[in-house]
Amino acid sequence: MTSPRLNFPKKPPRSILLLKGHSAGVGDLLRSSAAWRVLRNEFPEAQLHLWFLTRDPGVAAEQLIARHHLLAGFYVSDKRTKGYTGWKPLLAKAHQIAKEAHPELVVDCEPNGLRTSLLARFVAYWARATTVGIAQVPGRGWFYHRAAPSFERYARRHGTALPLNYAERDFVALAALGLERRNTPIELRETDEARAFRQKLRAELGDKNEPPLLGLNVGCGTNGFDKRLDVAWLAALVGELQRRHGFALILTGAPFERELNQRFLAQFQPSGPLLDLAGRTTILEVTGAIAACRLFISSDSGPYHMAVGLRVPTLALFNWENTPHYHHHEWVECRQARTSQHLTEALQAAERLLRCVPPPLP
């Protein structure tokens, strides 16, 4: 449904603001980069800005997204406080963004709730911008100058099931602009800090023969205990790959995942160099560690999505089928990790990935 109050501008926007209100995990934010790429391709002269409303401000993911190469601006607001006390700083932030980013197009990527709908209107009023959003429920489309259909209608139109793949969700709002994903990948580039750490990492391993690096992320975030893999199963997989290919093994992980990495190492019999980086890296340095790898293996976690975005051959392991979290590209394999049959399948997937040469980032 399209609001009749304003016509959509014919000139391409020079500045675009996107509003999101999801959880603050690395994957939750990075999966939106496919939509940023499509917007950049459609409007190559436009600057993209992201306003993220979260219940967990200050998490490490913000450092990663603040330096993302597709974004010219990144704003974060705490949405935990309700009522007048909560709205006052949000309105102040909306006014700040309108003045700093000067958006000509405001895209509300959230399907539900009034908060982002109203904030999109406030920014648009102060910046004289056009708004785009999702008519998820009757009447919601009237908050926007141009509105996309609901998630349900989007899924039917594209012949896909609900829940939508996470990287697809922002494209519901972009449907109001006639923009399609067409399996556009998420993307991430190394920063200067990441490149410097990658070079330091190779020096720390200290092997003149430079064995290929196998990256492994055992953990899966503070709330992901049900996603944690069986460490004995994982040790069998990684041990066989190290034996076959002479990999040097790099373990990534946050400070709170040191103990989990030690549990893995108690089950693991290394046949080559090994380095445990848990708690020793910033999130930008983790990017460099992943980029150094010939193959990256991970649970359903932030580093999994970082590896996919970097276009490092990635084997993602799940305790159960979780298709909304899958990526479908030639440098990614998503497999379950519970039985001996799954172990055989994971080894076969890893061998295929080692033959893969991913296309370069745009």
Q: Which domains does the chain have, with CATH numbers?
A: 15-177 (3.40.50.2000), 192-354 (3.40.50.2000)
Report the pLDDT value the prediction gives residue 69, as an integer from 0 to 100. Answer: 98
Tens digit of each residue's pLDDT (9 = 90 or more) over 126-164: 999 999 999 999 999 999 999 999 999 999 999 999 999
Report the pLDDT value the prediction gives residue 4, as an integer from 0 to 100. Answer: 36
Tens digit of each residue's pLDDT (9 = 90 or more) over 252-261: 999 999 999 9
Query: What percent of the chain has a predicted confidence (pLDDT) above 70?
Result: 95
Report the pLDDT value the prediction gives residue 83, as an integer from 0 to 100. Answer: 83
Q: Is the pLDDT of residue 61 over 80?
A: yes
Q: Which segment of 4-13, 28-37, 71-80, 230-239 scores lowest on mean pLDDT? A: 4-13
Q: Which segment of 20-34, 111-125, 152-166 scores lowest on mean pLDDT? A: 20-34
**Banded pLDDT at 8 (limits 50, 70, 90):** low
Average pLDDT over residues 270-291: 95
Report the pLDDT value the prediction gives residue 205, as an integer from 0 to 100. Answer: 78
Q: Is the pLDDT of residue 23 over 90?
A: no
Report the pLDDT value the prediction gives residue 6, as an integer from 0 to 100. Answer: 43
Report the pLDDT value the prediction gives residue 221, as an integer from 0 to 100. Answer: 66
- Angle at alpha carbon of residue 20, lines to 15 and 24, rounded to 5°: 125
Average pLDDT over residues 111-120: 94
Q: Which residue has the higher pLDDT, 129 or 227?
A: 129
Compute the mean pLDDT over every residue in the chain, rounded to the nearest whole number.
93
Tens digit of each residue's pLDDT (9 = 90 or more) over 175-204: 999 999 999 999 999 999 999 999 999 888
Average pLDDT over residues 90-103: 98
Query: What percent of the chain has a predicted confidence (pLDDT) above 90?
Result: 84
Query: Residue 82 contacts by C-beta under 8 Å, 6 or more apart in sequence?
Result: none
Average pLDDT over residues 279-286: 96
Report the pLDDT value the prediction gives residue 22, as an integer from 0 to 100. Answer: 76
Q: Which residue has the higher pLDDT, 113 or 251?
A: 251
